[in-house]
Amino acid sequence: MADQKFDGYSKDDLTKKLVDGETGGVTFDNLKPVTDYDFVATYAGQDPTKAGTDLGKVTTANPPKIAVTGVKFGEDSSNIDVGETKDLVATVSPDNATNKALKYSTSDATIAIIDADSGSTKGIKAGSVTITATSVDDASKKATVTLNVQKPTVNVTGITADKSLTVQVGKTAKINAVIAPDNATNKGVIYKSADPTLATVDADGTVHGVKATDPGKTVQITSTSYADGSKIATTAVTVTAA
């Protein structure tokens, strides 16, 4: 191993004054572990016959091992879409542990896979798995997080409904509302009558005729996407006498 120099120290740092019978020395900080250092020690006193120079070498030792005391994730559970990737990174304590390496594993690789070294996770199919991070230094120190893999959300892009509908007083008719796209995650529809004294509407779009509308008049029934309230369709309902 190449010899190192004691750079960055002043003359005062490298000088130690002693009296007869006293022992002592100088201290060097931040030296590299397992490294050879050459030194030249020059000494002098009031008696010039006791002056001289010594050459020597010192080898620094490995620092004491700092064991891992714990592993933890920042959250108890996490969500990911099928096909999505996400880093699930755990932390080791103490922060200055000698070996902070971790190994990651999944309880079911058919639902989610994970890179054993980096913690990068990918959702494979819908379901839940347990992700485990285990200390390389001490396998008894580990942490887990629940990963929920879900189908990707498909947003509603629009809604259509019957433009008009006729219903008799005391009878029913149904509004045909259609959410787009067909594979939207939430295809729920909320129906509302502009005038329940003329016509009411059930949660499934069934319209009840209550009172006949005036000639040429209608009552508006709105069909609104449950997932996106900005997506609305209207139906003009004519209520006729029984």
Q: pLDDT for 124-176, tens place per residue?
A: 999 999 999 999 999 999 999 999 999 999 999 999 999 999 999 999 999 99
CA count, 13 A, side-chain hemisphere, 222: 11
Who wins on pLDDT, 149 or 59? 149
Contact present, 200 and 175 (Cβ < 8 Å): no
Percentage of residues of the chain with pLDDT beyond 90: 72
Q: Amino acid identity of 158?
A: G
Neighbours of 5 (CB within 10 A): 9
Give the pLDDT of residue 104. 98
Residue 49 phi/psi, 5° resolution? Answer: -75, -10
> Using alpha carbons only, what angle is made at residue 202 by residues 161 and 206, rounded to the nearest 5 degrees?
55
Give the pLDDT of residue 3. 45
Mean pLDDT, to the nearest integer, of 15-21?
Answer: 61
Mean pLDDT, to the nearest integer, of 66-91?
Answer: 96
Q: What is the model's pTM?
A: 0.57
Give the pLDDT of residue 1. 39
